[in-house]
Chain A
């Protein structure tokens, strides 16, 4: 097991601190991630999908060690990440890399491509010579399909197109030869015409190198092309997870169903129905009691308001809904 996340939570508390001495504030608790369990094998791509604000990025930041969880366990190659970070932060960062959403913002505008790609090696204090650094940068850029790499070494990020920038980000992530890559919406800011080359690149790297990839997106339509497994998040929790195919074909959580229904389809011959959920995702500081989805759920029952649903499963396919896998609520998606 490359990654094993168990009941992970991240709560932010706002309005604490010194001024609270005067008792003037009532601290606000934001439950950004609220009990998430995930598993990932090497060579697998796990998709993480959910509406804006559901905690995807927070989860990603915890996974790469940018933030520490409030509770729960995070095992990486069987070791607790918290321990890893404590004992050797640098080594941990060598193994887990992240690719960000904004290919411009995640590249330092003042650095050349060569600097950007070699910086991780420098920060790791690997003691490489200048020539070795350059060599590894070129190799990483080639891996990211920036060819010929030499041509780009002295360029600045603003001289590259969005797709090229995202490749540089990938090269930077690759240069340390990580075991796990977390990609937070890596293609959402790219033009349609080039999105898929990036997706394909990531998929190829995962398979070739047998590494793990967590692919975060809010766009369900991009998922089948890359993911093996899928987890749907809602308000800090995974409400449905399983193999990609299973979920697309037999989505059981009403939220997943709504997400699927809301995505427009480019095929003029298919008419989709409109999702029948209402309202917007509530604030993470104000999570509804009972099933957190009940205020928007078309099937909500009094029970949903009262108790938090337990996880139900059918093989690898799991869902957190009182009525999951019940025949009458199951909607078979258009084939």
Chain B
């Protein structure tokens, strides 16, 4: 176990390191001058040079790289080219906003998807199952931004039930940021993107759970449980679902990182001031310290999530012994 952990941590660290390096050089070596917008070509040449010095872009590349690495060790991600503020602070807030949107909806969607998926597999062949599978696939096939637009069109504009976007009503911003997350107004704003995200995220766990369940149901131990006279609903939850949950539960941590990355579109539609929106804006402005740090954050989430998934696997499946 300890060996496994050390090995996995080492892999994770290596992965992150390569990503950091790759990202750093990607921005600087690929065609297209990222400084072109930070340092607007519309500025006078002298002003441009001054800005270059200000951002440390006048140094040789490898020195920039080592400075970057050195700063990373103390969690200094550099300064945003756009706002000139430390990137960490820039991202932190946005990340929280993204997480309050993504995390609950993902967990809820997973929960719902797993339950419904399991139940539908249990009732395989029924009309309801066919319909739900079709619906889930169609939802999965729908661009989420379009789904969001329709939701706004219908729920916000037609029915006037929810705000069209943003995170709180203008002027209702409480003094302390954390208070916002507990305000009714915030929940009111959260509702619609939350629902859209749930609808979208629901498909994957639903379909996955259903298909794993279908193969689990054919397993001999389900048959034995039935022979033992174990009541049906107990077979469903204690045996079938417990086993089918494995692949699903273990994808959750990994998917989470991806969901944060994928929040770009949903945040755009709902003007949700989260990390996704920030990333797109930052890419548009070539604010690569911000982009790099966001990517790093997501990579840490994903790599960490994968690690967690592997550990969870061991926890949930006694057959895994980490040797």
Interface string of A1-26 (1 = CB under 8 A from B): 00000000000000100010010110
Do residues A22 and B6 form an inter-chain contact, with CB atoms below 8 A?
Answer: yes
- In the assembly, what is the distance between CA of A22 and CA of B7, in Å? 10
Please report which residues of chain A, range 185-229, place their CB below 8 angstroms from some CB of chain B when the two chains form the complex: none
Do residues B6 and A24 form an inter-chain contact, with CB atoms below 8 A?
Answer: yes
Q: Taking the nearest CB of chain B, how far is it from the CB of A318, in angstroms?
A: 38
Q: Is B179 an interface residue (CB 8 A)?
A: no
Residues of B within 8 A of A19 (CB): 3, 6-7
Q: Is B126 an interface residue (CB 8 A)?
A: no
- In the assembly, what is the distance between CA of A19 and CA of B11, in Å? 11
Q: Taking the nearest CB of chain A, how far is it from the CB of B323, in angstroms?
A: 7
Do residues B2 and A24 form an inter-chain contact, with CB atoms below 8 A?
Answer: yes
- In the assembly, what is the distance between CA of A25 and CA of B6, in Å? 11
- In the assembly, what is the distance between CA of A326 and CA of B2, in Å? 53
Please report which residues of chain A, range 1-53, place their CB below 8 angstroms from some CB of chain B when the two chains form the complex: 15, 19, 22, 24-25
- In the assembly, what is the distance between CA of A19 and CA of B7, in Å? 7
Q: Taking the nearest CB of chain B, how far is it from the CB of A42, in angstroms?
A: 45
Q: Is chain B's interface secondary structure helix, strand, loop, or mixed overall?
A: helix
Residues of B within 8 A of A22 (CB): 3, 6
Chain B residue nearest to A20 (CB atoms) is B3
Q: Taking the nearest CB of chain A, how far is it from the CB of B8, in angstroms?
A: 10
Please report which residues of chain B, range 1-23, place their CB below 8 angstroms from some CB of chain A when the two chains form the complex: 2-3, 6-7
Q: Is chain A's interface secondary structure helix, strand, loop, or mixed overall?
A: loop
Chain A residue nearest to B323 (CB atoms) is A15
- In the assembly, what is the distance between CA of A25 and CA of B2, in Å? 9
Q: Taking the nearest CB of chain A, how far is it from the CB of B203, in angstroms?
A: 32
Report the interface size for chain B: residues with CB under 8 A from the other chain: 5
Q: Taking the nearest CB of chain B, how far is it from the CB of A240, in angstroms?
A: 35
Q: Taking the nearest CB of chain B, how far is it from the CB of A296, in angstroms?
A: 27
Chain A residue nearest to B3 (CB atoms) is A24
Q: Taking the nearest CB of chain A, how far is it from the CB of B7, in angstroms?
A: 5
Residues of A within 8 A of B3 (CB): 19, 22, 24-25
Q: Taking the nearest CB of chain B, how far is it from the CB of A22, in angstroms?
A: 6
- In the assembly, what is the distance between CA of A24 and CA of B8, in Å? 13
Residues of B within 8 A of A24 (CB): 2-3, 6
- In the assembly, what is the distance between CA of A19 and CA of B3, in Å? 7
Chain A residue nearest to B2 (CB atoms) is A24
Residues of A within 8 A of B323 (CB): 15
Please report which residues of chain A, range 266-293, place their CB below 8 angstroms from some CB of chain B when the two chains form the complex: none
Chain B residue nearest to A23 (CB atoms) is B3
- In the assembly, what is the distance between CA of A99 and CA of B3, in Å? 39
- In the assembly, what is the distance between CA of A13 and CA of B59, in Å? 52
- In the assembly, what is the distance between CA of A15 and CA of B321, in Å? 13
Residues of B within 8 A of A25 (CB): 3
Chain B residue nearest to A14 (CB atoms) is B323
- In the assembly, what is the distance between CA of A19 and CA of B2, in Å? 11
Q: Taking the nearest CB of chain A, how far is it from the CB of B5, in angstroms?
A: 10
- In the assembly, what is the distance between CA of A22 and CA of B8, in Å? 13
Residues of B within 8 A of A15 (CB): 323
Q: Taking the nearest CB of chain A, how far is it from the CB of B120, in angstroms?
A: 31
Chain A residue nearest to B5 (CB atoms) is A24
- In the assembly, what is the distance between CA of A22 and CA of B5, in Å? 12
- In the assembly, what is the distance between CA of A216 and CA of B3, in Å? 38
Q: Taking the nearest CB of chain A, how far is it from the CB of B14, in angstroms?
A: 12
Chain B residue nearest to A25 (CB atoms) is B3
- In the assembly, what is the distance between CA of A250 and CA of B11, in Å? 59
Q: Taking the nearest CB of chain B, how far is it from the CB of A226, in angstroms?
A: 34
Chain A residue nearest to B7 (CB atoms) is A19
Q: Taking the nearest CB of chain A, how far is it from the CB of B12, in angstroms?
A: 14
- In the assembly, what is the distance between CA of A72 and CA of B2, in Å? 37
Interface string of B285-323 (1 = CB under 8 A from A): 000000000000000000000000000000000000001
Q: Taking the nearest CB of chain B, how far is it from the CB of A211, in angstroms?
A: 42
Q: Taking the nearest CB of chain B, how far is it from the CB of A214, in angstroms?
A: 33
Q: Taking the nearest CB of chain B, how far is it from the CB of A270, in angstroms?
A: 36
Please report which residues of chain B, range 133-149, place their CB below 8 angstroms from some CB of chain A when the two chains form the complex: none
Residues of A within 8 A of B6 (CB): 19, 22, 24
Residues of A within 8 A of B7 (CB): 19
- In the assembly, what is the distance between CA of A39 and CA of B278, in Å? 75
Q: Taking the nearest CB of chain B, how far is it from the CB of A46, in angstroms?
A: 36
Q: Taking the nearest CB of chain A, how far is it from the CB of B93, in angstroms?
A: 40
Q: Taking the nearest CB of chain B, how far is it from the CB of A152, in angstroms?
A: 31
- In the assembly, what is the distance between CA of A24 and CA of B323, in Å? 11
- In the assembly, what is the distance between CA of A25 and CA of B1, in Å? 10
Q: Taking the nearest CB of chain A, how far is it from the CB of B195, in angstroms?
A: 46
Chain B residue nearest to A18 (CB atoms) is B7
- In the assembly, what is the distance between CA of A24 and CA of B2, in Å? 8
Q: Taking the nearest CB of chain B, how far is it from the CB of A17, in angstroms?
A: 10
Q: Taking the nearest CB of chain A, how far is it from the CB of B138, in angstroms?
A: 33
Chain B residue nearest to A19 (CB atoms) is B7
- In the assembly, what is the distance between CA of A15 and CA of B6, in Å? 14
- In the assembly, what is the distance between CA of A252 and CA of B323, in Å? 41
The 3 closest A-B pairs by CB, nearest first: A24-B3, A19-B7, A25-B3
Binding site for A on B (CB under 8 A): 2-3, 6-7, 323
Binding site for B on A (CB under 8 A): 15, 19, 22, 24-25
Could you pull out 10 A-B pairs where Cβ atoms are within 8 angstroms?
Answer: A15-B323, A19-B3, A19-B6, A19-B7, A22-B3, A22-B6, A24-B2, A24-B3, A24-B6, A25-B3
A19-B3, A22-B6, A25-B3 given; 7 more Cβ-contact pairs under 8 Å? A15-B323, A19-B6, A19-B7, A22-B3, A24-B2, A24-B3, A24-B6
